[in-house]
Amino acid sequence: MAPFAENLRSVRFVSDTKHDTTHVDRDLLEAQFEARIDDEWMVLTVPNGGYILGLVIQACTLLQEGSPQPEPLYLSSQFLGSTSVGPCTIIVSRVKSGKSYVNLTAKLVQKARLLDVSVLIYGKLSVAKHPYGSFPATRNQLTLAHPSGLSRRCPISIHPSKCSTTPFERPYTFKKHLIQAIDPYYVAKMERLASLEHAGNAESGDLGGGIFEWGGWYEMVDEGDIVTPPLISFLGDVSPLLLPQSIAAKREVPMWVPTLGLSIDFKYHVPAPGEIIPGIAKRTVGIFFTSKFLIEGRHDVTAEIWTAPSAIGQGVEEPGWQDRMFCMALVNQSATSAPAEMNLKHAVKKGSKL
């Protein structure tokens, strides 16, 4: 029962082995880590998938520590089964090493069962500079940033200083560690579109249409839980109730939304604990969710993780504050829907006391 950062410290190195191969990469390094899945990072009785991947990222980062490629650039993961509270093993293999990139695979095993398989790319991320000036091309590599009209800007309409917190509706056991403030603009927009039962392009005013949107701010409560790549993985999987209430109320039974697969594209260097960047909150992020298709319960979810100008309910709104934020990561997932009783049956099967 620990804060997020403290739980990450449970990930510890156990052993490694080097194998000679006949491939281009002569040495394949495999390292084994032990970790403990905590009961305060659950959805009902099943650990949050993004939290599990946070443990995986922590293990991979420990393997890459001190190397020229110390940061995760990309992760793609498939969940083969539900994990449970207790110890687990993470086996990390370095598949290929290059000058700029390192390719890793990671397997999470619990009670002799393979429950998650991930592939990761490690390298070195650029430091976002567009909030404080132009970001010129380096080594002929272009960066599309402000003031270009084609660059992506923070889509959240309300400054954290003008927000108040709202309880999570979903059955999360980590509610005491994480708070949220909802952007009312998207709540009103979704209810308006939901009322157009036979909307075409003309009625909705949006060519293509058919997209769920939700924006707001997430903030970690514990002082030590600052934004890191593992935390981004967790926050990107804390999905809100995307369906408008007028539609969600039609469901006959409570639902559980398990993740089938998840990928993370890290965009910029996440400030380390000792780095002080003016105008960037340490424990708060902007988060913008979209979902385009819902077919028999299976759906896609994309989360943009943005820096925040201040903590929730603090700071002062300045003109153009959205232009000074930057996107740290893009989290994509494929999820499905199942009756909540399936989640509870998992607890009975595993002998959980929750």
Residue boundaries of the structural domains of the chain? 4-129+153-196+208-350
Task: Tell me the C-alpha distance between 198 and 169, whole Å.
Answer: 29
pTM: 0.88
Task: Tell me the C-alpha distance between 153 and 156, whole Å.
Answer: 9
Average pLDDT over residues 162-171: 90
- 31, pLDDT greater than 90: yes
Condensed to tens digits (0 to 9), the pLDDT of residues 184-199 reads 999 998 888 777 766 5
Average pLDDT over residues 276-304: 90
Average pLDDT over residues 237-242: 84
Q: Among 171, 287, 303, which Cα is nearest to 218's?
A: 287
Condensed to tens digits (0 to 9), the pLDDT of residues 244-256 reads 666 666 655 566 6
Contacts of 341 (CB under 8 A, 6+ apart): 253
Architecture of domain 4-129+153-196+208-350: Beta Barrel (2.40)
Average pLDDT over residues 98-107: 96
